[in-house]
Structure formats: C-alpha cells, structure tokens
Amino acid sequence: MSAPNSKKSVVVGIDLGTTYSLVSVMQAGRPLVLPNALGEYLTPSAVSIDETGALLVGAPAKARATTHPLATALAFKRDMGTPKLYDVGGRRMSPQELSALVLSALKQDAEAALGGTVEEAVVTVPAYFGDAQRQATRDAGAIAGLKVERIINEPTAAALAYGLHERHRELRAAVIDLGGGTFDVTILEIMEGVVEIQSSAGDARLGGEDFDDALAEHVARQVESASRHDVRRDARAWARVRAACEAAKRRLSELDATIVALADVPAGDRTIQIEEKLGRAQAETLWTPLLEKMRAPILRALRDASITPDRIDEVLLVGGSTRMPCVAKLVAQLFGRLPLRSLPPDEAVAMGAAVQAALKEGDASVGDLVVTDVAPFSLGTGTIERFGTQHISGIFCPIIERGTVIPTSRSKPFTTVVDGQEKIVFDVYQGEHSLCKDNKKLGEYTLYGLRGLPAGQEQIEVRFTYDLNGILEVDMTRVESGVTETLVIEGSPGRLSRGEIQRAREEMKRLKLHPRDALPNTTLLLRADALFVELVGADRERLGKAIAGFRLVLEMQDRAKIDIARGELAHLVNALSR
C-alpha cells in the first residue's frame, strides 16, 4: 500500500467500538479500512497483561480472555465517562486509559500501513453518548497521542459512507446500528449531495454483548441446576461459558441449532462438563426482551423526524450484531420492507469516519458532499416554579430540544425567585423527563454577587452552545451589567484533568509493550491455547502436539521455518474451531 504523502501527517477515521475497533483513511476518493499487524481489519477492543508483565492489545488480549479473565479487560467503552476502574493483571486502569491503548494500537497500524505519521483522528461515538462520555473519548485520544478535534456520531458516520455512494440519488433512509455495546437509529435524507440527519435515538447500553449475556445466563442456569455450582460467580467458568455463547450466537445466524460444549470447566475444587443444545427459535425467545428494547428508539426516531415507516425508501443495517436474523426480521416488521446491507456492517462506521476526516481536510473527492447533524437528546437546566405561595424545585427546562440541527446556540432568560437573593445555582441536565432527578446531570455553576433585589427583578440569560462534536458550553449573562460567566464542566465522574492526562501518557510510555513483529505468533498461540481448553480426546491431543511443535520452531528463530509452522498451526486451529 503506498503512502499518500509521507511528509504530511494523515488524518484517519477511527471506529472505537465496544467489541471491535477499526481505522480507515480516504484514498483515491474511497474510504479504505486499514489492516492491523495480523493482517486483519477488526481489532478487538481488549487489553490484557501476560505473565511477564507485557501488555497485549487486540486479538491476543481477546484470546487470553477465556483463559485469563482476571488479567483481561473487555467492553470498557460502556464505562467511558465514569469513575470505574478495571483491574488488569494487578494494574488499575480507567476506561480512558484502556481505550487509549486501543487507539494507540490503531495509530501504529495506520502508520505501518500508510508509511507516514498519524497525529489526528476523527473518532466515532454512539449518538446517545453524553457530554462526559464524549469528553472521555477525547481524553483517550490525548493519552494515545492523537488530536481528536472532531467527534462524529456512529450512525451519522454510517450515513456519510452510505451518502458517498448514493450522493446522486434522492431518498430518505433509516440507519439501524447495533454494535457490540450500543444501539442507535438515525433517520436521514439525501438530496443533491446533502446528507441531512433528521433525527437520532438509541440506547447506550444495548448491544451484541447483551445478547451474548442472555445466552450465557441461560446456559449457566442449566449448569447450576445440574451441578449446584454458581458459574456466574466463578470468573474463569463464566468467561468460558460466555465466550462459548458468543460463538454459538454467531453460528445461529447461519444454522437452526447448535451445541455449546465445554470440557473441564472449573467448578471449585472439581471440574464439570457442559453440553447444552441451543436452537435459533429458543435463542430468539431468550432475546425477546432485548429485541423489544430496540422498538422504542426506532419509533422515537421516526416520531422525531415526523415521518411514518412507509415513507422510508431504504433501511440500512450497520454493526456486526445486525447479522442476527431476528434483528433483520424485527426491522422488516417495523418498516414493511427488507433491510439492506449495501456496506459491510462491521466497516460502515469506520468508512464514514474516513469520509468525515476527508471533509475536515478539504479533500476534493468529497467536495460536493455536505452533512448536517442533530442533537440526540434535550439539554437544559433545573428551575423552581411558583404556584401561588408554593415553590416547586427540580423542574427540567429544556433550552436545546432533541432534534435541533447542530451546531446551535440557544438561550432563555431566568430570574430570581425569592426576595434578597444573592446567588443562583444553575444545574445542567440532559434527558427528556420533566423532573431533573430523572435526567443526567452534567454539571452545575453557582453565580454569586447578585444584588439582593426583590424576586423577579434580577435577570440572567443562560445560553447553551452545542457544537458538531456534541460538546456543550454554557454561558450565564447578567442582563443589566452584561457580565458573562462560563460553565466549564470539569471534575465530573471519569473526567481527567490535563495533569492526569499527561501522567497517563507518561505511564503508557513506561508500559512493557509486546513486540509488534511477534504478534502473529503470540496471537496464534493464545488462540490455540484457548481452543485446547475446549477440546477433548484425539482432537485435543493432536492440537497439543502441534502447539508444542510450534513453540519448538519458535526457539530456532528461523523465520522461514516459523512462517511454515505458523501456517500449519493456523490451518489446524481453523479446522478444529468449526
């Protein structure tokens, strides 16, 4: 692959996913997903620390998850913007730090593929990510040494990739994006190269991971009733059951039935065998509550766009989890038409991020493409309402309504509510409920130095400015003096200070990284070891000998022999995995 220009840093697009992440770039007018060190396009969002203290990111880390669950972190994107810490092999790490390690690996992969430097990225987030989660994504980029000026919603990115191919058509489409950890719905219209986002809705905690959990919970209950061992409280047993159920879910996309079979599953001071048959119909029954959760965001997006399903010209499925037949069936029922997969479901969001990166750079190949976006949720402040002699506090007052085209700046006037008031507290919330307590609090600001006038005579104008990245700025202006104070949302749970980001960067530099050129061998061995745990009988013996033989060849340090042996072991692993 040729470098576009080795003298100029390239802006890439990154889909930082819950389960898998990808990096892409525009070349010759088309978005191109770049391979990682293993030659694969999907990099698992996984981090692990091995017995030597070396850090593993991506495929080798995911392979260790079943055998070393306590030294591996998965699905940490779901906790972005929260104070949660993960214990990875004895090291405490925040979701931002873990995400930064994935971003750093993608940055290295892009630089290796392009032959140039990568200093900036457009990163995608779920449409329903709030301010704290978006800021945390920026923090992760900063720790990884990436400038992340532009954040784009995942379904909007998919719409951009779709619009690039369909820009000469006029149509109205719905993008259904079910990833590993999040679900988004976007209604858009394409007209003369303009991709207009009309509405977005979603659930930031609904995705393929939940479908895996539903199957794993079912299998665990069956095991527990037979063995009286609490699989869900045993980290190693649960990791194996869950990994087996994830694989079963994938098989059920093609088959009517499959078997979850596990040998020697740890159960306290003994081991147990698991063999559970799963039919697609049975699995879909277990998934019914999750499928029902998908209905509400779809209907809300249609309602916010003031459109009925029959007026949608095309429905586009995005995200690896949309491969499940039950998802396509649900969408077909709601829209009265078969959905499309005109773009690779796993790659569409990353491709759109590359298009946005090209737009940011002023690439001529996308010069006639324009995209508009909307605020996915309402933003406002808490108020106190007066009813006669009574005051009721905690009433949510929206200033920017969901569905407002962004960037936008909206303001509302507020006054004091009691005589002699010398300060006023402005709470900032996002959400759709009438009461503040039912919405997400983003921050607060206390405005001091009011003049203590009678109630209603001190006026403050509050302005919310919401940019294309989904980042909020709040200004409070005293009308009489014209003095403005700005709320900077800092110190919120999970938000890192500049000093903390710098310390995290320094800590990441000190980490013992696994050699990049050894990743293909390490990853294959870890995948083979994980498979060895699951097999029994002759297949297990055969694989064990092949693993031992490959380790012996590695000690010889003969590159040609290593390549041949790696190919043979990979062929055997693939054959025994089916």
The terminus-to-terminus CA distance of the chain in angstroms comes to: 32
Give the per-residue pLDDT at 493. Answer: 55
Give the per-residue pLDDT at 334. Answer: 96
Q: Kindly give the residue spans of alpha helices, DSSP state H, lying in 65-173.
A: 95-114, 131-143, 154-166
236 pLDDT more than 70: yes
Of the given ranges (9-23, 34-48, 212-226, 477-491), which has the lowest mean pLDDT?
Answer: 477-491
Give the per-residue pLDDT at 227. Answer: 76
**pLDDT by residue (tens digit) across 528-568?**
999 998 888 899 999 999 999 999 999 888 889 999 999 99
Active site (annotated) includes residue 177: yes
d(CA 228, CA 302): 48
Between 46 and 467, the higher pLDDT residue: 46
228 pLDDT more than 80: no
Catalytic residue among 120, 131, 139, 177: 177
Give the per-residue pLDDT at 5. Answer: 47
Of the given ranges (26-35, 157-166, 180-189), which has the lowest mean pLDDT?
Answer: 157-166
Active site (annotated) includes residue 423: no
Give the per-residue pLDDT at 488. Answer: 64
Mean pLDDT across the stretch 440-455? 88
pLDDT band at 495 (very low <50, low <70, confident <90, very high): low
**pLDDT by residue (tens digit) across 241-281?**
999 999 999 999 999 999 998 888 877 778 888 889 999 99
pLDDT band at 327 (very low <50, low <70, confident <90, very high): very high
Catalytic residue among 77, 184, 246, 304: 77
Contact 173, 188 (CB under 8 A): yes
CATH match of 379-487 with 3.30.465.10: no
The angle formed by the CA atoms of residues 443, 445 and 447, to the nearest 5 degrees, is: 170
Place of tokens 């457009």: 122
Active site (annotated) includes residue 62: no
Of the given ranges (225-239, 349-363, 431-445), which has the lowest mean pLDDT?
Answer: 225-239
Q: Which amino acid is at 333?
A: Q
Active site (annotated) includes residue 419: no
Between the ranges 31-45, 377-391, 406-420, where is the mean pLDDT highest? 31-45
| CATH number of this structure's domain 208-288 | 3.90.640.10
Give the per-residue pLDDT at 3. Answer: 47
Catalytic residue among 154, 166, 189, 210: 154
Between 67 and 490, the higher pLDDT residue: 67
For 28: left if phi > 0, alpha if psi spans -120 to 50, otherwise beta; the answer is left
Give the per-residue pLDDT at 386. Answer: 76
